[in-house]
C-alpha cells in the first residue's frame, strides 16, 4: 500500500483531471488526504484512497462500498457512486493513478535529494530490484516495489509510497507491449536506467523478439545526458541500445569490455563466489548466497547502479553478502531431510531462466547423487512455444539431468523431445498434475538428491515446490 504526500481533495481532482463530488459528506475541497493508496479494497485502512479499477474479470467499483466501510477517505472512480464518501470522477482510473504518482514523484524531487533507478529486462527485474533495495536502504530511506509490482498499476502504487524523506526509489518496470515502459519512465523519470537482458519471455504477447527489444529499449531512450544507462555488455540485443540514449553508458558483464565485471566465478550449492571489478580498477571478492550463476549478472547490475549512486564498493559487497534469497519461489533452497535439497524456482519461467536453472542444477550436483528436474510450461511464448520447449528437453538430456518429470499438457513437447534425444528408459516421465508429480518425486527420490521445480507462474508449480520442501524439511 502507498501513502500519498498530503494533498487537498481539490488538488487531487486537479492533478488527475477529475471532477470532485462531495455529496452527502462533511468534507470540503480543502480537506487533506494522506492515506495509503490501493486498488484492492481489502487493503484499505482509515484515511486511505481507493482507486476503482475496471478489470478483465471484475470491476473495482463493485468493491467501493467495502472500501468506504473500512474508512476510505477518497474514492477515485470512473462514474459517480451512490456512496457517502468524497469521490473524484475521472475518465480512466488507471491513468489517474499514474498522474497522481507522477505528481508525488515531482514534489518529492523538488523537496529533497531523491534518486530514482528504473529496472527492466526479460529476466531478473525483481531480483535486481531486491538487491538494490538491500544495498540502498543502508544508505537512506528507500522505496522499492512489493513482489513484482511493475506494471501500469503496480509501478505507480510503488511511487506513491514516497515521502519527503525518501532518498532512493527503485522502480521495477515490466511490460507486455510496446509503449508501456515508456509510460512508466515518463512517470518516474529515472536518473539511472538498467536493462538486464532481452529474451523470449512474453514474446508471444509482444508479437516477436524485435518488438520485445523495442519495448525494453524504452528504458533508456528518454534518459538525459546527465543520467546513466546501465546496460548488459554480454547481451547482443541490449548492446545496440547504447546508440539510442543520450545518457552516459555503464556496461556490466563477464567480459573484459564491461565497466563492472565479474571474474573467477565459482558455483556451489550455497551460492556463487566471484571477483567484481568496478570503474577505477577497485575490486573485491563477493560471496553471493543467491543460488545460480545467472544471478551474478543481476548482482553486477545492482553493483553498477549502487556505485554510480556513490555507495562505496565495500558497503555494496557487504550488503549483497547478507542476501541469501532473492525472492520467494526464485531459486529458493528448501528441504534438508535425508540430505535432499529442493530448489523452488517456479515463480516464473522463460527459455533463458529455464536454461539457467537447469545449468545450475547440473553444477551443484554432488558426487554420487542424482538431479531431478520437475518442469512445467513456459507460458506466453506464442509462436516460439513449441521449439523452445523442445530445446529445453534437449538441454536437460545434454546436461545429464538424472530424472525429468514434466507436468501438464502445455509442457508435453519438452518430455517428448527429451525422450527422442536421449532414448531414455523412464528417465523422463510425464504427468498431468502437480499432485501426480508430488507422488512420483516422493516415491522415487533418494538420499542426497537435488530436486529443481521450475515453471511459469500460471502452471502453479511453485506450490508443488513448497509442498516438496515441507515434506523433506
Say if residue 282 is in the same domain as residue 138. Answer: yes
What domain range includes position 36? 2-91
Say if residue 119 is in the same domain as residue 178. Answer: yes
Residue 223's pLDDT is: 95
Last residue of a domain, one of 320, 346, 380: 320
Give, rounded to a whole angstrom, the gap between the first and last alpha carbons of the chain: 33
121 labelled ligand-binding: yes
User: Average of pLDDT values for 275-304?
Assistant: 94
How far apart are alpha carbons 397 and 412 in whole angstroms? 15
Which DSSP category does 63 fall into?
G
How far apart are alpha carbons 122 and 212 in whole angstroms? 9
pLDDT band at 201 (very low <50, low <70, confident <90, very high): low
31 labelled ligand-binding: no
Phi, psi of 144 (to 5 degrees): -145, 155
pLDDT tens-place string over residues 118-137: 999 988 888 999 999 999 99
Does residue 97 form part of some domain?
A: no
Asked whether residue 448 carries a pLDDT value surpassing 70, the answer given is yes
Say if residue 384 is in the same domain as residue 449. Answer: yes
How far apart are alpha carbons 384 and 371 in whole angstroms? 27
Sign of the C-alpha dihedral computed for residues 373, 376, 380 and 382 taken in this order: positive
User: Average of pLDDT values for 8-28?
Assistant: 96
The b-or-e profile of 252-272 (16+ CB within 10 A means b, else e) is bbbeeebbbbbeeeebeeebb
Asked whether residue 327 carries a pLDDT value surpassing 90, the answer given is no
Residue 202's pLDDT is: 52
Q: What is the mean pLDDT of the chain?
A: 91
289 labelled ligand-binding: no
User: Average of pLDDT values for 132-161?
Assistant: 90
User: Average of pLDDT values for 12-28?
Assistant: 95
How many structural domains are present in the chain? Answer: 3
User: Average of pLDDT values for 68-91?
Assistant: 96
Say if residue 313 is in the same domain as residue 415. Answer: no
Could you give the 3-state DSSP secondary structure of residue 87?
strand
pLDDT tens-place string over residues 95-119: 999 999 999 999 999 987 899 999 9
Asked whether residue 246 carries a pLDDT value surpassing 80, the answer given is yes
The alpha helices in 327-460, defined as continuous H runs, are 351-363, 385-398, 412-422, 434-444
Residues in the chain, overall count? 473
Say if residue 262 is in the same domain as residue 354. Answer: no
DSSP 153-187: THHHHHHTT--TT--EEEEE---SSTTHHHHHHHH
Say if residue 190 is in the same domain as residue 315. Answer: yes
Asked whether residue 43 carries a pLDDT value surpassing 70, the answer given is yes
Asked whether residue 204 carries a pLDDT value surpassing 80, the answer given is no
How far apart are alpha carbons 115 and 308 in whole angstroms? 11
Say if residue 21 is in the same domain as residue 167. Answer: no
How far apart are alpha carbons 236 and 223 in whole angstroms? 21
Residue 347's pLDDT is: 82
Say if residue 303 is in the same domain as residue 379. Answer: no
Asked whether residue 424 carries a pLDDT value surpassing 70, the answer given is no
Dihedral, CA of residue 15, residue 20, residue 26 and residue 29, to nearest 10: 50
Of residues 434 and 204, more confidence is placed in: 434
Say if residue 65 is in the same domain as residue 16. Answer: yes
Residue 208's pLDDT is: 72
Residue 116's pLDDT is: 97
Does residue 357 form part of some domain?
A: yes
Phi, psi of 187 (to 5 degrees): -70, -45
pLDDT band at 61 (very low <50, low <70, confident <90, very high): very high
Asked whether residue 405 carries a pLDDT value surpassing 70, the answer given is yes
Does residue 96 form part of some domain?
A: no
Does residue 405 form part of some domain?
A: yes
Asked whether residue 325 carries a pLDDT value surpassing 90, the answer given is no
Could you give the 3-state DSSP secondary structure of residue 255?
coil
126 labelled ligand-binding: yes
Chain centroid to CA 280: 31
pLDDT band at 366 (very low <50, low <70, confident <90, very high): confident
Say if residue 275 is in the same domain as residue 195. Answer: yes
Residue 139's pLDDT is: 96
Asked whether residue 326 carries a pLDDT value surpassing 90, the answer given is no
Which DSSP category does 4 fall into?
P
Chain centroid to CA 262: 23
Provide the CATH number for the domain around residue 67: 3.40.1390.10
Dihedral, CA of residue 142, residue 1, residue 155 and residue 289, to nearest 10: 50
User: Average of pLDDT values for 411-436?
Assistant: 88
Asked whether residue 428 carries a pLDDT value surpassing 70, the answer given is yes
Say if residue 9 is in the same domain as residue 51. Answer: yes
Q: Rounded to 5 degrees, what angle do the CA atoms 25, 29, 34 make?
A: 90
- Return the top range by mean pLDDT from 187-201, 304-318, 349-363: 304-318
232 labelled ligand-binding: no
How far apart are alpha carbons 160 and 2 in whole angstroms? 5
Of residues 383 and 434, more confidence is placed in: 434
Say if residue 275 is in the same domain as residue 336. Answer: no
Dihedral, CA of residue 286, residue 287, residue 288 and residue 293, to nearest 10: 80
How far apart are alpha carbons 294 and 169 in whole angstroms? 25
**Cell output for 293:** 550463476
Residue 3's pLDDT is: 61
Asked whether residue 394 carries a pLDDT value surpassing 90, the answer given is yes
Provide the CATH number for the domain around residue 117: 3.40.1190.10
Cα→Cα distances 379→171, 205, 326, 412, Å:
25, 10, 22, 13
Chain centroid to CA 398: 30
Amino acid at each position: 500500500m502507498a501513502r500519498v504526500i498530503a494533498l487537498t481533495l481539490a488538488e487531487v481532482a486537479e492533478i488527475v483531471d477529475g471532477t470532485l463530488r462531495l455529496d452527502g459528506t462533511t468534507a470540503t475541497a480543502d480537506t487533506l488526504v494522506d492515506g495509503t493508496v490501493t486498488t484492492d479494497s481489502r487493503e484499505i485502512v482509515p484515511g486511505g484512497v481507493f482507486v476503482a479499477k475496471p478489470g478483465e474479470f471484475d470491476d473495482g467499483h463493485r468493491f467501493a462500498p467495502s472500501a468506504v466501510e473500512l474508512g476510505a477517505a477518497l474514492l477515485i472512480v470512473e462514474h459517480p457512486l451512490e456512496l457517502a464518501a468524497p469521490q473524484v470522477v475521472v475518465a480512466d482510473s488507471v491513468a489517474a493513478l499514474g498522474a497522481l504518482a507522477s505528481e508525488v514523484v515531482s514534489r518529492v524531487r523538488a523537496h529533497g535529494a531523491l534518486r530514482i533507478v528504473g529496472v527492466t529486462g526479460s529476466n531478473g527485474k525483481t531480483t535486481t530490484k531486491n538487491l538494490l533495495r538491500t544495498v540502498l536502504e543502508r544508505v537512506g530511506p528507500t522505496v522499492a516495489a512489493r513482489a513484482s509490482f511493475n506494471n501500469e498499476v503496480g509501478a505507480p502504487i510503488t511511487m506513491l509510497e514516497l515521502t519527503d524523506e525518501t532518498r532512493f526509489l527503485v522502480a521495477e518496470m515490466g511490460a507486455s507491449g510496446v509503449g508501456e515502459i515508456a509510460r512508466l519512465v515518463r512517470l518516474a523519470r529515472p536518473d539511472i536506467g538498467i536493462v538486464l537482458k532481452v529474451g523470449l519471455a512474453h514474446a508471444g504477447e509482444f508479437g516477436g523478439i524485435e518488438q520485445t527489444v523495442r519495448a525494453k529499449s524504452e528504458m533508456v531512450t528518454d534518459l538525459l545526458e546527465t543520467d546513466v544507462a546501465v546496460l548488459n555488455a554480454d547481451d547482443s540485443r541490449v548492446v545496440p541500445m547504447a546508440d539510442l540514449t543520450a545518457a552516459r553508458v555503464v556496461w556490466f558483464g563477464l567480459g573484459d569490455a564491461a565497466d563492472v565485471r565479474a571474474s573467477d566465478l565459482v558455483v556451489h550449492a550455497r551460492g556463487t563466489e566471484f571477483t567484481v571489478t568496478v570503474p577505477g580498477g577497485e575490486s573485491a571478492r563477493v560471496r553471493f548466497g543467491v543460488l545460480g550463476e545467472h544471478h551474478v549478472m543481476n548482482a553486477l547490475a545492482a553493483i553498477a547502479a549502487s556505485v554510480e549512486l556513490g555507495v562505496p564498493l565495500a558497503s555494496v559487497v557487504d550488503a549483497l553478502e547478507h542476501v541469501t534469497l532473492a525472492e520467494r519461489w526464485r531459486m529458493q533452497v528448501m528441504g534438508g531431510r535425508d540430505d535432499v535439497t529442493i530448489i523452488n524456482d517456479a515463480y516464473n519461467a522463460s527459455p533463458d531462466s529455464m536454461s539457467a536453472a537447469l545449468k545450475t542444477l547440473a553444477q551443484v550436483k554432488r558426487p554420487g547423487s542424482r538431479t531431478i528436474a520437475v518442469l512445467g510450461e513456459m507460458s506466453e511464448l506464442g509462436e516460439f512455444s513449441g521449439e523452445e520447449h523442445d530445446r529445453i528437453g534437449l538441454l536437460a538430456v545434454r546436461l545429464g539431468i538424472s530424472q525429468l518429470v514434466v507436468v501438464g499438457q502445455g509442457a508435453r513437447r519438452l518430455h517428448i523431445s527429451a525422450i527422442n534425444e536421449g532414448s531414455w528408459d523412464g528417465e523422463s516421465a510425464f504427468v498431468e498434475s502437480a499432485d501426480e508429480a508430488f507422488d512420483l518425486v516422493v516415491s522415487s527420490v533418494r538420499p542426497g538428491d537435488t530436486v529443481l521445480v521450475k515453471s511459469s507462474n500460471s502452471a502453479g508449480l511453485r506450490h508443488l515446490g513448497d509442498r516438496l520442501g515441507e515434506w523433506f524439511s
